[in-house]
Amino acid sequence: MDIKLVPKLNESYKILKVHINSSLIFTMIILYFSVLFFYNKIVEYVRMLNQGIKKVVEGDFSLRFSFSGEGPFSVLAHNFNQMAERLENSLMELTKEKIFLKDTLANISHQLKTPITSMNLFTEALINNFSVEEEVEKIGCKMRSSLYSMEWLIKKLLKLAKIEGGVVEYNKTNISFKDTIEKAIDPLLVSIEEKNINLKLEVKEGSYPHDKGWTSEALTNIIKNSIEHTKPHGEVCICYENNLLYHKITISDNGEGIDKEDLPYIFQRFYKGKSSSGMMKSDSIGIGLALAKSIIEGQGGFLQVESIKEEGSKFTVTFLTNL
């Protein structure tokens, strides 16, 4: 090697060394600021999430995060949003249940208060008129009626509580709907006779897997409602038909009908519709139709109502064949 080239090589080496060192320093500076930038971003994300968690703890579930990209913070933000939404829904449901429980207890108290007050008055009347045999018999009948109302209310409430509590297991067997309908009518024969109701049956042969006991209970409540809202010498018609698609039971009457504003609420517990005179029916408890709907829907069926004021109502129970 030519000795004259050595100084030039040394000089080139020094220049290269300077460039390398400069590049390393520049790279380290860029890396430092990049790490600082991402660190601050992570700290900001953590701070935002921490604020969100504090708001959730304080009961404010309105905050939602939307981080760009598909990194771990985006996943964390998505999970946080889902958590907040579920907690908000749960709180709303709990609030609704609390209000419902309060209203239910108030309604039960009101419904039991009426017959208990009546019985107290009847008892007082018995004490004051114990020597009049005719009065005693009359008061005794009224007391028996009050006791029947209390017993009916308690039984229906217990059945409804079992159904909505999910403890009822429907024993579905493939039996004739004709037998179920006849069982539903049986406890109402006295009421039908007292009001001289013309009961029409148009029942075809057909069977479908259903719980005879619970289904007849539901039908009894619907038929009872039709009888109560039909004038003496009125008509109640019960029809059953089936085909390859469905099994359908319709219970119609030519009674007073239901107001349009009442229709969306008649299946709610303790809801009382208006009579044809515009006054609330004092002898109605408002639980039978709610129980009927729960029973039918619990077996995969549907309960619908149509009504025209002063012309009558029609309740339709439908079970789809493929369900």
Q: Please report, for residues 118, 134, 267, the alpha-carbon distance to residue 122 in angstroms, rounded to integers and kept in the order given.
A: 6, 14, 33
We find that the CATH architecture of domain 173-320 is: 2-Layer Sandwich (3.30)
So where are the chain's domains? 5-89, 105-164, 173-320
Q: Do residues 216 and 183 make contact, with C-beta atoms less than 8 angstroms apart?
A: yes
In this prediction, residue 169 has a pLDDT band, given cuts at 50, 70 and 90, of confident
Question: Which of the listed ranges 268-272, 277-281, 312-316 does the model predict with the highest average pLDDT?
Answer: 312-316
Q: Would you say residue 238 has pLDDT above 90?
A: yes
- When the pLDDT of each residue in the chain is averaged and rounded to a whole number, the result is 80
Query: How many Å apart are CA 170 and CA 298, to the nearest integer?
Result: 8
Q: Region 182-191: what's the mean pLDDT?
A: 92
Question: Which pLDDT belongs to residue 277?
Answer: 44
Query: How many Å apart are CA 103 and CA 274, to the nearest integer?
Result: 20
Q: Which residues of 17-39 are buried (b: 16+ CB within 10 A; e: fewer)?
A: eeeeeeeeeeeeeeeeeeeeeee
Query: How many Å apart are CA 244 and CA 246, to the nearest integer?
Result: 6
Q: Which residue has the higher pLDDT, 315 or 92?
A: 315
Comparing CA positions, the residue from 217, 210, 203 lying closest to residue 158 is: 217
Q: Which residue has the higher pLDDT, 18 or 188?
A: 188
Question: Which pLDDT belongs to residue 136?
Answer: 65
Question: Which pLDDT belongs to residue 111?
Answer: 65
Q: Which residue has the higher pLDDT, 238 or 258?
A: 238
Q: Would you say residue 279 has pLDDT above 50?
A: no
Q: Would you say residue 320 has pLDDT above 50?
A: yes
Q: Would you say residue 232 has pLDDT above 90?
A: yes
Could you tell me whether strands 235-242 and 198-203 are parallel, antiparallel, or unpaired per DSSP bridges?
A: parallel
Q: What is the tens place of the pLDDT at every residue in 97-142?
A: 777 667 666 666 666 676 777 777 767 766 666 555 666 667 677 6
Q: What is the tens place of the pLDDT at every residue in 69-101?
A: 566 767 777 777 787 788 778 888 888 777 766
In this prediction, residue 280 has a pLDDT band, given cuts at 50, 70 and 90, of very low
Question: Which pLDDT belongs to residue 212?
Answer: 94
